[in-house]
């Protein structure tokens, strides 16, 4: 598979992995809306050929987001012609949230072995697996996203907006693919999280968070390693993730696991 075709695949996997609250299909463009929870789920993404003039379509999208009372945002990836990015810039759109996509063939996976204490045996069993990662860190895995995990995630990433608290749980539960749900708990409280989403021989790593009080204890490494090892056992052969440009500690971690840079995308915001 050539480079552009692989980028297209990863973009499709990412769309499957992170549904928006509302989606409108408009002449090959997806207009995604999620009360501005994240740029990815609250932006315009081009997935097909367009027939209408770009100026007309931009104006239409701006009106849609104006009705939603959120900024007008467009995702810019290597799949788009550079002229479209330049057109948005000429309309006063600035760049935000430049993001680096990394990928890995599991033949490059660098991980110390973990030991399993109890493992669920089939998808959607509702049971929990406990893995002991290097450093005697216990990682819990489940095969479904629960309300308790979501509320704990909100505490980790600081989500307090009432609209987000109301709609984001349904977005997580709308993920159409098999999931690996990870957490590290101290005295019953989740202090680290992670989510693996399986699709077409790939696992995407999402929702990697560690409580500020528990950083520099290799919790993120333990979460990522455990998800990747479980995905590999389930037959996945590749992995991908997205990291905000400038997050050097995360980039260092992912590189040591075997991930390499694939491409960069950014958002244009009015």
The string of pLDDT tens digits covering residues 95-109 is: 999 999 999 999 999
Residues 6+ apart with CB under 8 A from 7: 77, 78, 79, 101, 262, 263
Residue 38 contacts residue 8 (beta carbons within 8 Å):
no
What integer pLDDT is reported at residue 1 of this predicted model? 80
127: pLDDT strictly greater than 70: no
Answering whether pTM is above 0.85, one says yes
The three-point CA angle 148-173-104 to 5° equals: 95
Of residues 241, 239, 264, the one with CA closest to residue 104: 239
What integer pLDDT is reported at residue 120 of this predicted model? 53
The three-point CA angle 146-151-152 to 5° equals: 95
Confidence band of 136 (pLDDT split at 50, 70, 90): confident
Confidence band of 189 (pLDDT split at 50, 70, 90): very high
Across the range 118-124, mean pLDDT stands at: 55
Specify the range with the lowest mean pLDDT, choosing from 128-137, 151-160, 242-251. Answer: 128-137
Of residues 147, 129, 146, the one with CA closest to residue 138: 129
Please report, for residues 54, 245, 252, 254, the alpha-carbon distance to residue 248 in angstroms, rounded to integers and kept in the order given: 36, 8, 6, 10
Domains of the chain: 3-103 (no CATH), 104-263 (3.40.630.30)
What integer pLDDT is reported at residue 153 of this predicted model? 97
Across the range 201-224, mean pLDDT stands at: 95
Longest dimension (CA), the chain: 59
Specify the range with the lowest mean pLDDT, choosing from 8-12, 131-135, 155-159. Answer: 131-135
What integer pLDDT is reported at residue 130 of this predicted model? 83
What integer pLDDT is reported at residue 119 of this predicted model? 57
Locate 72 and state its tokens.
Answer: 């007008």
């Amino acid at each position: 598979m050539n480079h552009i075709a692989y980028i297209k695949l990863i973009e499709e996997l990412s769309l499957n992995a992170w549904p928006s609250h509302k989606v409108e299909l408009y002449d090959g463009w997806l207009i995604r809306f999620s009360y501005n929870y994240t740029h990815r789920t609250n932006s315009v993404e081009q997935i097909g050929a367009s027939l209408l003039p770009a100026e007309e379509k931009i104006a239409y999208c701006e009106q849609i987001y104006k009705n939603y009372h959120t900024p007008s945002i467009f995702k810019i990836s290597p799949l788009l012609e550079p002229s479209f990015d330049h057109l948005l810039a000429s309309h006063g759109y600035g760049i935000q949230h430049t993001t680096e996509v990394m990928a890995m063939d599991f033949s490059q996976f660098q991980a110390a072995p973990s030991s399993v204490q109890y493992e669920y045996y089939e998808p959607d069993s509702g049971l929990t697996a406990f893995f002991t990662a290097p450093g005697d860190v216990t990682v819990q895995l489940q095969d479904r996203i629960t309300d308790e995990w979501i509320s704990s995630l909100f505490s980790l990433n600081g989500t307090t907006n009432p609209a987000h608290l109301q709609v984001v749980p349904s977005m997580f539960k709308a993920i159409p693919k098999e999931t690996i749900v990870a957490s590290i708990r101290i005295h019953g409280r989740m202090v680290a999280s992670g989510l693996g989403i399986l699709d077409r021989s790939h696992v995407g790593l999402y929702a990697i968070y560690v409580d500020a009080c528990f950083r520099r204890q290799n919790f993120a490494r333990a979460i990522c390693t455990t998800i990747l090892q479980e995905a590999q056992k389930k037959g996945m052969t590749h992995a991908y993730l997205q990291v905000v440009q400038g997050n050097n500690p995360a980039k260092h971690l992912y590189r040591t696991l075997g991930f390499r840079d694939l491409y960069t995308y950014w958002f244009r915001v009015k």
